Each structure stands twice: as C-alpha cells, then as structure tokens.
Amino acid sequence: MEPLTDKSFVEGLIPQKAPFVMVDKLIHFSEEKLVAGFNVPEGNIFVENGKFTEPGLIEHMAQSVALYTGYQFYLKKEPAPTGYIGSIKYVNVNALPVLGSELVTEVSVLQEFMGITLVDIVTKCNDVEIAASQMKTVLAK
C-alpha cells in the first residue's frame, strides 16, 4: 500500500477528533503490523516547554492502535467501532521529542480475538527508539 498522508482521511479512521488527534499518517498496514506517523505540531495540547510529553506519547501509541482497527474496518467498508485501552502492561519512555518532530510508530499485533487486541508498540524519532509499550485494546460492544 502507498502511505496515506491526507490528515483528514486518517483522522476519519479513528474516533478521536481535533484537538485530540495524535496520528496524521498511515505509513504501512498488514494484518500483523501497522506503522503510523505523527508530526508534533505547534499548539498541540500535549506539548509543554517545547517537548511532547509522556501522556502525549501514550495517547499517540493508543491512537496508532485505533488506526489499525479503523483501517481494518475501512477495508471491509464498515464503520469502525469505538475502542478503549483495556490495559497497559508497560510503557517505557526513553526521550521526549521536541516540537516539530516526526514520530514513526510500529504496532505489532500479538493476538486478536473477539474484539480484544494485544499489541507491542515502538515509537521512534529520527530512527531512535524513544518509547515502547504493550497494550490491550477492547472494542465497545
């Protein structure tokens, strides 16, 4: 697939709306993996002192998982359901990206069953891993 860089199209694949959108491109999609991107804009609600904060990184990672689900449903021509973070096993934040940074986040699907998705997530900035997490997301019934 060609990367999807139309911000409004990508935003339409997730339930979050501005100013709470933390993904702006879909770089790669397969049944086992998604790669999402986000350019940290000025005025972002999670930017403090010129840096994208830990809660912003966690929300970006969670929205990358939402983008995986949203794109799956888009391909099936069905509306994407709302999902929730069911649990976070761990989050490691090694560095905070600065304003204007390009984040590239890889979501690796470990298990998917009955609306529950277990994923490993790695976020990089300038090809350096800045954060990693394992999350379980649950689709609303």
Is 43 contained in some domain?
Answer: yes
The mean pLDDT of 59-78, rounded to a whole number, is 95
Is 2 contained in some domain?
Answer: no
pTM for the model: 0.95
Looking at the structure of the chain, the number of domains it has is 1
Do residues 44 and 56 touch, judged by C-beta distance below 8 A?
yes
Is 13 contained in some domain?
Answer: yes
Is 111 contained in some domain?
Answer: yes
Amino acid at 114: M
Is 131 contained in some domain?
Answer: yes
Is 132 contained in some domain?
Answer: yes
What is the domain range of residue 86? Answer: 7-139
| 116-125 vs 102-113, strand pairing mode | antiparallel
How much is the pLDDT for 80? 82
Is 1 contained in some domain?
Answer: no
Q: What CATH number is given to the structural domain containing 110?
A: 3.10.129.10
Is 134 contained in some domain?
Answer: yes
Least confident range of 11-15, 85-89, 96-100, 137-141: 137-141
In this predicted structure, the answer to whether residue 81 has a pLDDT above a threshold of 90 is: no
CA distance 67 to 85: 13
- How many CA atoms within 13 Å lie on the side-chain side of 57? 28
Helices (H), 20-124: 54-75
Residue 3's pLDDT band, with cuts at 50, 70 and 90, is: very high
